[in-house]
Each structure stands twice: as C-alpha cells, then as structure tokens.
Chains A and B, each alone.
Chain A
Amino acid sequence: MSHHIVEAQGLRYSYPDGTPALEDISLRVEHGEAVALVGENGAGKSTLLRHFTGCLFPAAGTLRIGGLPVAKEHLTEIRRAVGMVFQNPDDQLFMPTVFEDAAFGLLNLGVSEAQLEGKVMGALETVGAAHLRSRPPYRLSQGEKRAVSIAGVLVMQPDILVMDEPTSNLDPRSRRRLIELLKTFKHTRIIATHDLDFALEVCGRTIVIHKGRVTADGPTREVFGDEKILRLSNLEQPAALRKCPACGG
C-alpha cells in the first residue's frame, strides 16, 4: 500500500516575489495516519498543502506522494490519489447543485452516467447530505457546505485526504458531527488547523510548522504538552490538556 504514503525531504519554496514560504520541510506520513498540521498564520501550512495537490511545485528538495514525485508529468495520478477539502467551501462548491458538484470530479474521471447516481449518492449519504442533492450550494448552512465539499472529494475515492481548516466557521454541533465523521475515515488524513481540541480528538500525530520549518513532530498529546513550542507558534494549549483551574488537578 505504498501509494498512501506522503514523504517530503528538504522541501523548499519561495513566492515569485522572493518571500520564502517553506524552508527545509521534511516529513513522512504513513498509510492510514491522521496528522494535524499546526502553526501560526503565515507559517506555511497552506503553501505546504498546495504542494500536496500539485498546485505548487517544490523549488528544492523532493516531495513524493505514493512513491511518485510531485511534478507536471504525474499530476493526474497525484490529484487522483489526493483529495483536497478547501478552507472556504464557497471556493470549492462551484457547480449549480449539490448533486452536480459532487459529480464534478467523477465526470472528469470519465465515470459513466449509469454509475454516477449510485456513487454520488453514496458519498452524500456518508456525510449525511443526501437530502440536499438538488439544492444550490450557496443556500446551504456552513456545516452543510462543509459536508458537501467533503462528499465531492470522497466520491473520487482518494487515498489521502488533505483538509485546510475544516472546523472554521462551524457551529459547535456541526463541528462535533465533522469530528465524528473524520474519525470513521480510514484514509491517510493531513489536516491543517488552528483548532487544537479538534486535533487532539481526531489526529494521533501532530506536526508544528513555524516560519516554514518543522519545529515539532510527534504524538499529539506530547506535542501539545510542550508549552514553549506552542507559544512560539502563537498557539494555545487545548482546554482538555490544561489543568483544571478550580481543583488544580
């Protein structure tokens, strides 16, 4: 199952104007792992995610997804293997109705219309959005939008799920539903987030990025236990790990 592995070695990237965004990122994510990517605004998380989908190419170093280097000639395979859920669902849900949006990727893969219905509805059911099928996306709530954008990615049966701030703008109940949903997935999951409580629940491992470098990489509980690292990245220890202010326990 080598194709579920993400591996970066000395990855570097600078924006066209010369601003360095990633400086020497090395990491390896194994099959089926759930990894949280945390760090302050502008740390380089989104830039790194863009490399995973082949929207950017490394300036130096290597990035391999399922054994294939991320480069122009492997784009189709890489985008087939990696499903990306965008931070703002409005950017991702561009088709007229929920059904058509979920079908967009499948049609690009050349799935026949006979198979389309079953696959799309299967994905919509997984995220609990089957009843929304003929609604236009801009009329949905944030939680519904998030669910539908995940369905649009799931339907393509990716090996690796990449998510950018999936809990942003969600009300507590929608957030809870998302957490339960993500826990059921068997995909390799890489999730950029500021929501450390969410990371603690969903991801067994956390990677901290600070100014384009990896400053910590390990089991989530351990990483979040190191307050110095967290403070350096403008992060705050999740409530679940803090000592109880009332009893000191």
Chain B
Amino acid sequence: MGQLAQNLTDIGYMDTLAAGFTRLHRLDPRAKLLTTALFIVAVVSFGKYEVSALLPFLLYPVYLAAQGRLPVGHLLKKVLLVSPFAVVVGIFNPFLDSGVLLRVGDFGVSGGWVSFASILLRFFLTVSAALLLLALTGMNSICEALLRLGVPKAFVVQLLFLNRYLFSLTAEAESMSRARALRSAGRGGMGFGVFIQILGHLLLKTLDRAERVYRAMLCRGFDGHIRVARFSNIGRPELLFCGAWTALFIVFRFVNLPVALGQAVTGLLK
C-alpha cells in the first residue's frame, strides 16, 4: 500500500515537473525526444570495457537537470531505486572475467570489474536521460512528438488514454487495498483470494468506466477518430539544441576526451 501511494505521488510529481516553464520545457518535444534517442544510442554503442569515454556523456543529463531546474536529489533517488536488472546480471562479470585489464602502478583491475563499472555507468546515463526527458516534456507532449514522427495514431491515442486514466485507476487501486489493509487487523500481506477479488472488482469498475467514457465521447460527436489540434513548431531553439548536442555526442563518441585530458595533465606533471 505504501508503495502504491508512493507511486501515485511519484507520477503526479513527474507531471508537476513537466509543467515547468524553462526554455527546455518549451522546446518542441520532437527535439528532446530525438536528441535523447541519439544520446542513448551513442552511450550503448561503446565497447563493453569502456568507462572513461562514457564520462563526458554525463554532461547531457547534468545540463538538462540544471537548465530545466529539476530537483536533482529526487531524480537521483529515483534512478538508484529502480530495480536494476542490469546490476543483478552485471555483478557476475567480475567473477567470470578475471583477466587483468587495467593497471595503475602495481595494482591490476580485472576486466570483469571494468565491464561491471561500464554497465553501471550506462545504466545511470540511459535511465537518467529517459527520466529527464519525461520530467522536461511530460507524457502528453511526448505523445504529440510520437504522432508527428509518424508513430501510428492508434498507438498514440492508446498512450494518451492510458496516461489520462492511470492516475484515476491507480488511486482506485490504492483506496481498495487501503480499505483491505484497514480491516485486516494487522495481518500483514494480502492473500491470493482477496487479491483476485480486488483485481476482479477493479476490472469490472474499469469496464464500466470505459462504457461511460465511450458514451461521453459519443455525446460530443465521436465518430471513431480522435482529432488532435497542436500548435508547436520546430524553430531556431530546436535546431540549436539538436545540432549542438549531436555535434557534442559525435565528439564524445569518437574522441576519448578524459584520456586526452589525463594525458595532458600527467604530461605536465612529468
């Protein structure tokens, strides 16, 4: 129940963040979506032992969070709390790949640890980019971008409806499970039988709601097509955003800046 309520506030909070008014918020959603997609592809395209060359990519999430005035602490917590299948699988690497790959003085680091670090870094970069995209854009604008980018309308409309009603239905699910918890006399978790009852009733309510929504649509002239009127545009800020980041990603991808920097610094020290 705690988790359900938590998720509910979480979803609401992401929505509140997306309603911000910074320049990044106002950017056409297509620009943000495409740039983030490019970012993710660039990040995962590195070899499995790459760590240093991935670091400059941190600039993108850092920029988005700072420029979009987003609460870094909250988003960081979210990234870390995500159940990381990646970490569970990645943790095997250090045990399976023990050849020394990295040497600093007499100290050797095995390939497994390096690739594990790489997995964690990739995880952080890709997940934070996705979350920031949502926090700066909001689900509805992302859907708008998808539609404009040629994603089938049936799917976009489906996403819009899902987003519209997930709040209502999660709230209903939450109050149902709270009602159960309040009457279970402290007997911890939910049994299977009760669980099925709750799901079943929730499903029936859902089906009734679908029927009412359908009637409400009919009453306002619904004929099977959802018409969407949108007014955003690609302009100079969008081109600048996409262009600048694409250029940076290309540099980050093909030039290992940290190593170059490190060599310069260690060279100076010698």
Q: Which A residues are closer than 8 A to B by beta carbons?
A: 50, 53-55, 76, 79-80, 82-84, 86, 88, 90-92, 94-97, 100, 103-105, 107-109, 113, 116, 134-139, 152-153, 156
**Which of B163, B167, B221 has most A Cβ within 10 Å?**
B221
Which residue of chain A lies nearest to B138 when distances are taken between CB atoms in the complex? A136
Q: Return the 9 tightest CB-CB contacts between A and B, nearest first.
A: A108-B221, A105-B220, A107-B227, A96-B140, A91-B212, A92-B216, A84-B219, A138-B167, A53-B219
Which residue of chain B lies nearest to A138 when distances are taken between CB atoms in the complex? B167
Interface status of B239 (Cβ within 8 A of chain A): no
| Interchain Cβ contacts under 8 Å between A and B, 13 examples | A55-B218, A76-B221, A79-B219, A79-B220, A79-B221, A86-B216, A91-B209, A94-B161, A94-B165, A94-B216, A100-B228, A113-B229, A153-B220
Question: Are B229 and A91 in touch, CB under 8 angstroms?
Answer: no
Residues of A near B229 (CB, < 8 A) are: 100, 103, 107, 113, 116
Apart from A138-B164, A138-B168, 12 more pairs, CB < 8 Å? A53-B215, A55-B219, A86-B212, A92-B213, A94-B164, A95-B164, A96-B139, A96-B160, A96-B164, A104-B220, A105-B220, A139-B12
Given A96-B163, A103-B229, A137-B164, is A108 in contact with B222 using a C-beta cutoff of 8 Å?
yes
Contact with A along B1-26 (1 / 0, CB 8 A): 00000000000100100010000000
Contact with A along B236-262 (1 / 0, CB 8 A): 000000000000000000000000000
Which residue of chain B lies nearest to A107 when distances are taken between CB atoms in the complex? B227
Bound CA span A134–B19, Å: 9
Instruction: Give chain B nearest CB distance to A104 CB in angstroms.
Output: 6
Contact with A along B162-186 (1 / 0, CB 8 A): 0111011000000000000000000
Question: Are B219 and A108 in touch, CB under 8 angstroms?
Answer: no
Question: Are B15 and A79 in touch, CB under 8 angstroms?
Answer: no
Residues of B near A76 (CB, < 8 A) are: 221
Interface status of B143 (Cβ within 8 A of chain A): yes
Bound CA span A136–B217, Å: 17
The size class of the interface chain B forms with chain A is: 20 to 34
Residues of A near B167 (CB, < 8 A) are: 138
Which residue of chain A lies nearest to B139 when distances are taken between CB atoms in the complex? A96
Which residue of chain B lies nearest to A162 when distances are taken between CB atoms in the complex? B219
Bound CA span A92–B165, Å: 12
Instruction: Give chain B nearest CB distance to A102 CB in angstroms.
Output: 10
**Which of A97, A104, A135, A152 has most B Cβ within 10 Å?**
A104
Given A108-B223, A136-B140, is A94 in contact with B213 using a C-beta cutoff of 8 Å?
yes
Question: Are A109 and B140 in touch, CB under 8 angstroms?
Answer: no
Question: Are A108 and B164 in touch, CB under 8 angstroms?
Answer: no
Instruction: Give chain A nearest CB distance to B27 CB in angstroms.
Output: 16
**Which of A54, A80, A136 has most B Cβ within 10 Å?**
A136
Instruction: Give chain B nearest CB distance to A82 CB in angstroms.
Output: 8
Question: Are B221 and A105 in touch, CB under 8 angstroms?
Answer: yes
Which residue of chain A lies nearest to B222 when distances are taken between CB atoms in the complex? A108
Instruction: Give chain B nearest CB distance to A60 CB in angstroms.
Output: 22
Residues of A near B168 (CB, < 8 A) are: 90, 138
Contact with A along B117-150 (1 / 0, CB 8 A): 0000000000000000000000110010000000
Residues of A near B213 (CB, < 8 A) are: 91-92, 94
Residues of B near A84 (CB, < 8 A) are: 216, 219
Instruction: Give chain B nearest CB distance to A164 CB in angstroms.
Output: 10
Question: Are B15 and A139 in touch, CB under 8 angstroms?
Answer: yes
Residues of A near B160 (CB, < 8 A) are: 95-96
Bound CA span A136–B163, Å: 10
Instruction: Give chain B nearest CB distance to A234 CB in angstroms.
Output: 24
Given A138-B168, A139-B15, is A55 in contact with B215 using a C-beta cutoff of 8 Å?
yes
Bound CA span A29–B168, Å: 36
Bound CA span A40–B143, Å: 44
Residues of B near A53 (CB, < 8 A) are: 215, 218-219
Residues of A near B12 (CB, < 8 A) are: 139
Residues of B near A152 (CB, < 8 A) are: 220
Question: Are A88 and B212 in touch, CB under 8 angstroms?
Answer: yes
Bound CA span A92–B164, Å: 11
Instruction: Give chain B nearest CB distance to A79 CB in angstroms.
Output: 6
Which residue of chain B lies nearest to A137 when distances are taken between CB atoms in the complex? B164
